[in-house]
Amino acid sequence: MKGFIYLLEIAVAAILIVVVLGIFFAVQVKLNWERSDLIAAGNNMLNSLKQGGKIIDILNGDVTPIEHVSSVNINYGLKILGSPKSKIEVGCIDYSSCSYVNDLLTDNIYVNGRWINFTVEQFDITAGIPDYYDAVVFVNYTGYSNPSVKSNITEYLKKGGVVIGINATISNTNADFNGIFNLTVGSGSSSTVNFTFYDPSRDEIAKYFLGLGFGTVNNIWTIWEDGWSITYGSNYVNITKVSDTTKNRTFLSEGSNFNLTGPNSANYSFKVRKIWPNTRVDFQPLNKSFVFKDFSESSTPVKGNNIVGYGSSYAALTTNNSAIWISDFPRSDEYRTLVKAAIASRKDEWYAKQPYPTKETTEVSSFVSLCCDMPETPELTFILWYKV
């Protein structure tokens, strides 16, 4: 009898094992089928958006075209990598600096067929930095050693925020200021400074500077601290140097190239990228060796990870990951573009639609190539899951 019961127990155990394994493999088959189905759906969505010419809409933050090609039983999020946000929110700390920052950023950017816009808003630095700001800009600020300010800046940087400090070096003995931007004592002097390298794999500020160009929305273009008046024809512009009207460039249509003499007496090439008649004209610098008048703090020179400067000796712009120091500067369009490039280059990973998954997700990615103002190959990644 005991032998019979023993055999019965073995039989029951075997049946249970078969049932459990069947359930397990059924779940696995279902999960594998769901993943394959989601991948196919994601690829179809991406292909439809590409073929329908809707990628620029997506990069502009408009996800409406996705709703027209997505399946009714699938939820999604969409991450963009390698192309800046279309709407960049910038914080500033007082009326004076906000007015200055707004003036720097008010000319929106038109690049690779789309607009990049900046909005500026005042906040209280002692109360913390709101997470929704893409960047904060401090102008001639001296309160970096305030414990709450230092803590708020540090926490904001840890969360992926961008901090731009536009000011003199304050003092080579200010450890907190130097620590945030990773500055040390520099030496030397020069009448001009340059990008210390052009290598987008190391840092993209130089690429963005050349790619964004100078959007001139009034009748004066200021380059190398000299003004050039602009007059509009039917499909061209003329520019004339304000301080010497014998120097001019005429009948410049879209796509035209022209040369100007830089502060180092060398010739530099520019292109008329786009004309909005009687409203705006965009000029683009074409030389990777673009030169700046020296706008560094020559009385207390500093250095760090020099992006613009005199080699490794001293800097006019440095980066410490997303903490970027720029020496204060006079009014001129090249400096305005530097600030825009510094911010935009650090905001090239973002969500066109934030995912809030309720089930296991699958990711599907694709690269797209944008043309033709600057090299830009963003990666679009769908995060997909089935609706409950």
Examine the domain organization and report whether 101 and 51 are in the same domain.
no
Examine the domain organization and report whether 166 and 40 are in the same domain.
no
**Residue 271 CA, distance from chain mean position:** 23
Q: Is 170 helix (H, G, I), strand (E, B) or coil?
A: coil
Examine the domain organization and report whether 153 and 221 are in the same domain.
yes
Examine the domain organization and report whether 47 and 111 are in the same domain.
no
* H-helix segments, the chain: 2-51, 55-59, 64-69, 95-105, 147-158, 175-181, 205-212, 333-345
Examine the domain organization and report whether 338 and 381 are in the same domain.
no
Examine the domain organization and report whether 226 and 315 are in the same domain.
yes
Examine the domain organization and report whether 353 and 341 are in the same domain.
no
Nearest CA-CA partner of 308 in 296, 323, 320: 296
What total number of domains does the chain contain? 2
What percent of the chain stands above pLDDT 90?
Answer: 81
Q: How confident is the model over 104-134, as pLDDT tens digits?
A: 998 899 999 999 999 999 999 999 999 999 9
Instruction: Quote the pLDDT of residue 17.
Output: 44
Q: How confident is the model over 287-346, as pLDDT tens digits?
A: 999 999 999 977 789 999 999 999 999 999 999 999 999 999 999 999 999 999 999 999
Q: How confident is the model over 41-65, as pLDDT tens digits?
A: 999 999 999 999 999 999 998 999 9
Q: Which helix (H) or strand (E) holds 116?
A: strand 114-122
Examine the domain organization and report whether 320 and 364 are in the same domain.
no
Residue linked to tokens 């879209």? 254
Give dist(CA 100, CA 339) in Å, integer. Answer: 12
Give dist(CA 371, CA 351) in Å, integer. Answer: 22
Give dist(CA 266, CA 36) in Å, integer. Answer: 59
Examine the domain organization and report whether 221 and 337 are in the same domain.
yes
Nearest CA-CA partner of 334 in 280, 292, 288, 272: 292
Q: Which domain holds residue 251?
A: 87-345
Q: How confident is the model over 15-29, as pLDDT tens digits?
A: 444 444 344 333 444
Angle at 242 between CA 236 and CA 246, to 5 degrees: 80
Instruction: Quote the pLDDT of residue 92.
Output: 98
Examine the domain organization and report whether 165 and 299 are in the same domain.
yes
Instruction: Quote the pLDDT of residue 230.
Output: 97
Examine the domain organization and report whether 290 and 204 are in the same domain.
yes
Which own/partner pairs from 255-260 qualify as long-range (CB within 8 Å, at least 24 positions apart)?
257/286, 260/223, 260/224
Examine the domain organization and report whether 49 and 75 are in the same domain.
yes
